């Protein structure tokens, strides 16, 4: 009896464990598909459409995407203002395929593999009609697996003006002034030119250009007051066919490059006064408000001398000075100049004179 019970218990345990670990039908692995292009922008520039995007870095399952082999640019041309992804794939045409070896030529920031890419689509005469242009991008990886299409972007091109000519830039003490002439024709050589105003762009060194004006400029000049001396700047101007952002702009004007050199002396110091002490003559003056002030230089001449002599070998920071190299019963004349960090020096201040007496 005991032996029968033991056999029954063992069989029950075997049946329990054999049923617990039972697996369902095997499922196929999820396909590794590249993520779609997420960063994507479109704008008209002159007679071209500018597309900007950033290639995805991973698959849809989150695993890293080692390399993209190709970027496809697709275009729908027709009367519809919007399309679903399926309809777009059926009716759009392939404009271009950009191979991975061509990516460096499309980088916005050259030499930076992580930067956005860009592509210019050249508009033709038939694009400036009642039709809409809808663009979509997708990528392929090295095994030719394709991503979904990016978000679709619609654009209705308009005829824009040519860029403004004759750009000039001049450096002043508190601003860089940019001037230009108005465009004379449109991209199709028609006139009068179609534009509402201007946008001004500045780049520093090899950096990307940034728009300076918060609102459209209506005049043919712009004052850049946010600059630093001894920096190289590059300016260009675009004419805009729209009043507000997103601006439909002309191509870039010819750029003008300028080194903002500081050739402007500080203002002349004012308020110079002198007071004779027992064995010195004390000077003081108003503090200068110059942003790039390096300091002050003190000048002196003795009665009968024609030229001033510099008393301070280096510019002093304080707006006061004690002259202890003086003799009694001699009249001394003093003047102050201000010097900036670029070495520019102001004219001499109005002079003051003082004499030490025998009895103080």
More confident residue, 180 or 108: 180
193 and 171 Cβ atoms separated by less than 8 Å: no
Whether 212 shows a pLDDT value over 90: the answer reads yes
Calculate the CA dihedral of residues 214, 217, 222, 225 and round it to 10 degrees.
-20
Residue 90: per-residue pLDDT = 93
How far, in Å, CA of 14 to CA of 7, rounded? 11
Whether 13 shows a pLDDT value over 80: the answer reads no
Whether 214 shows a pLDDT value over 80: the answer reads yes
Give me the residue spans of the domains in the chain: 39-155, 168-259, 273-355
Is 168-259 a CATH 3.50.50.60 domain? no
**DSSP secondary structure letter of residue 184:** -
Q: Per this entry, what is the length of the chain?
A: 360
Is 273-355 a CATH 3.40.718.10 domain? no
Whether 26 shows a pLDDT value over 70: the answer reads no
Residue 233: per-residue pLDDT = 96
- Chain segment 290-348, per-residue pLDDT in tens: 888 999 999 999 998 999 999 999 999 999 999 999 999 999 999 999 999 989 999 99
Whether 113 shows a pLDDT value over 80: the answer reads no
Whether 39-155 and 273-355 share one fold: the answer is: yes
Whether 111 shows a pLDDT value over 80: the answer reads no
- Chain segment 240-294, per-residue pLDDT in tens: 999 988 899 999 999 999 999 999 999 999 999 999 998 999 999 999 988 889 9
| 56 Cβ contact list (under 8 Å, min separation 6) | 34, 35, 36, 37, 38, 65, 68, 139, 147
CATH of domain 39-155: 2.60.40.10
| 38 Cβ contact list (under 8 Å, min separation 6) | 54, 56, 150
Residue 38: per-residue pLDDT = 83
């Amino acid at each position: 009896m005991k032996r029968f019970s033991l056999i029954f218990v063992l069989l029950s345990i075997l049946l329990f464990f054999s049923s617990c670990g039972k697996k369902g039908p095997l499922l196929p692995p999820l396909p590794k598909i590249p993520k779609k292009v997420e960063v994507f922008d479109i704008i008209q520039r002159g007679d071209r459409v500018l597309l900007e995007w950033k290639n995805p870095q991973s698959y849809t399952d989150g695993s890293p995407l080692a390399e993209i082999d190709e970027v496809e640019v697709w275009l729908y041309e027709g009367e519809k203002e919007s399309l679903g992804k399926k309809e777009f794939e059926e009716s759009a045409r392939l404009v271009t395929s950009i191979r991975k070896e061509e990516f460096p030529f499309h980088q916005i920031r050259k030499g930076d593999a992580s930067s956005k890419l860009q592509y210019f689509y050249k508009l033709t005469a038939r694009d400036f009609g009642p039709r809409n242009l809808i663009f979509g991008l997708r990528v392929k990886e090295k095994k030719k697996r394709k991503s979904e299409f990016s978000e679709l972007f619609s654009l209705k091109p308009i005829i824009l003006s040519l860029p403004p000519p004759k750009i000039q830039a001049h450096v002043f003490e508190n601003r860089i002034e940019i001037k230009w002439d108005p465009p004379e024709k449109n991209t199709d050589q028609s006139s009068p030119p179609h534009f509402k105003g201007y946008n001004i762009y500045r780049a520093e060194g090899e950096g990307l250009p940034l728009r300076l004006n918060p609102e459209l400029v209506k005049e043919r000049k712009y004052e850049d007051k946010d600059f630093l001396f001894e920096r190289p700047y590059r300016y260009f101007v675009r004419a805009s066919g729209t009043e507000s952002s997103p601006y439909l702009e002309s191509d870039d004007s010819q750029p003008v490059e300028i080194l903002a050199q500081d050739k402007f002396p500080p203002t002349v110091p004012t308020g110079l006064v002198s007071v004779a002490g027992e064995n010195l003559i004390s000077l003081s003056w108003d503090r200068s408000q110059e942003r790039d002030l390096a300091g002050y230089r003190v000048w002196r001449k003795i009665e009968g001398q024609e030229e001033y002599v510099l008393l301070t070998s280096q510019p002093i920071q304080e707006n006061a000075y004690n002259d202890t190299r003086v003799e009694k019963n001699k009249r001394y004349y003093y003047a102050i100049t201000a010097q900036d960090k670029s070495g520019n020096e102001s004219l001499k201040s109005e002079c003051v004179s003082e004499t030490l007496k025998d009895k103080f």
